[in-house]
Chains A and B, each alone.
Chain A
Amino acid sequence: MKLDTSGFETSMPVIGFGSNSEMLDGVSSVPSFDLPRTTDFDGFQKKSVEMVKPAKGTTTLAFIFKEGVMVAADSRASMGGYISSQSVKKIIEINPYMLGSMAGGSADCQFWHRNLGIKCRLHELANKRRISVSGASKLLANMLYSYRGMGLSVGTMIAGWDETGPGLYYVDNEGGRLKGDRFSVGSGSPYAYGVLDSGYKFDMSIEEASELARRSIYHATFRDGASGGVASVYHVGPQGWTKLSGDDVGELHYHYYPVAPATAEHVMEEAA
């Protein structure tokens, strides 16, 4: 299977003396990923897929409404049962009018989103107009499809505003690409869907939509062990994206469900 390395190709011609020229940056040199030198390539790939272990322990969601697209995510990174970080940025800014959400392997998502940003910018320069959300998501999906079975773990939503209005696509490491109005990705997604689906209306104001998104993420962090930290909410409108809020979920709980002061503080018991 020939890997699709067009992610590294540029529209401008490769000038200079060849692939090893230092004058050229990493993008325009001859594209390649080093492959491991081993007798059993398939066995090695299988073991490394197992090692990466796509767990997708996270909660991200996005939905389209009257005023644009709302994107929200938690910020916990977990390795099995251990919490490795409570402050991971899971909403990646591809360019000023497009956001990508991250679920799955952090390295995979960060790399491929940045790669997508590069390709989008090159498209802009080559065609003198912005790329559509549909086009951007297709670029990513095709790239991921060519790496199918190699153990990438990417469950992302591409949200943006282009000439046709708000756009939302779900793209995953299998190469799947779905257009839709409401998505939630990750181990906490069932809980987020419950709150999101019951509260969703197309005609919401930005405040109502951001509160719905925040509440959905909060409920997912409560029920799902692999989600937590900070609930970030972004809005994508005709002028581009803005970050609306980043609330610590621990504090959100007591904001939604304040503790009633207890009557008796402690029990006094006579020693036997």
Chain B
Amino acid sequence: MSIFEYNGSAVVAMVGKNCFAIASDRRLGVQLQTIATDFQRISKIHDHLFIGLSGLATDVQTLYQRLVFRHKLYQLREERDMKPETFASLVSAILYEKRFGPYLCQPVIAGLGDDNKPFICTMDSIGAKELAKDFVVSGTASESLYGACEAMFKPDMEAEELFETISQALLSSVDRDCLSGWGGHVYVVTPDEIKEKILKGRMD
């Protein structure tokens, strides 16, 4: 098994009508052994910007801490929050700095930009940005996630329907992966509120 499959992860983000949803599994494992079932993969950068990191868990935590640090500095200097597009470029630059000894994670960035337009993108471990208009996936269950999202996604969904769709896509995909699952964590973000929900999934 490759180093990206050492801890196991599944992250997905979807675009809706003036809202977005980002979801991840909750398992932390060491190869086949499950160590924890409450691992945080998605973190808030600011109220309208979330980042989900899949891959090696230690790099997930370290990279998150570095990004929060950079964003706080930005807030002090510019006296405002970063736009999602700008943040994506920042993440890409930080990852490419380590081109010959990379962080072994694949980030998924989701945010609301100007005019509350939802923005999602994903990157590989050395910072190649992939923008999408509908959904992005990453992690050990990514192939199953691609299939499930492709089948279930509809454009311009409202927050409630988006929550249902992303939850079903996540749970059905991780049920086909030995290394991710054990519950789910979903954030649905609209211009006015952030809804955080824990999903009851198969614990095997």
A interface residues with partner B (beta carbon < 8 Å): 57, 74, 76, 78, 80-83, 86, 187, 221-229, 249-250, 253-254, 259, 262, 265-269, 271-272
Contacts and interface: CB of A to CB of B under 8 A. Distances in A.
Given A81-B140, A221-B203, A271-B47, 10 more contacts: A81-B8, A225-B34, A226-B178, A227-B204, A228-B204, A249-B203, A250-B202, A267-B195, A268-B193, A272-B48
Interface magnitude class on chain B: 20 to 34
Given A80-B1, A187-B32, A267-B195, A222 B203 contact: yes
Given A225-B32, A266-B195, A78 B178 contact: yes
A249 B181 CA distance: 14
Interface string B26-65: 0001011110000000000011100000000000000000
Contacts of A267: 193-196
A81 B179 CA distance: 6
9 contacts: A78-B178, A81-B5, A83-B175, A223-B33, A226-B32, A227-B204, A229-B204, A271-B48, A272-B46
Dominant SS at the A interface?
loop
Interface of B: 1, 5, 8, 29, 31-34, 46-48, 81, 140, 175-179, 191-198, 200-204
Contacts of B203: 221-222, 249-250, 253
Nearest to B192: A271
B20 to A, nearest CB: 14
Contact of A266 (B48, B175, B178, B196): B196
Contacts of B29: 225
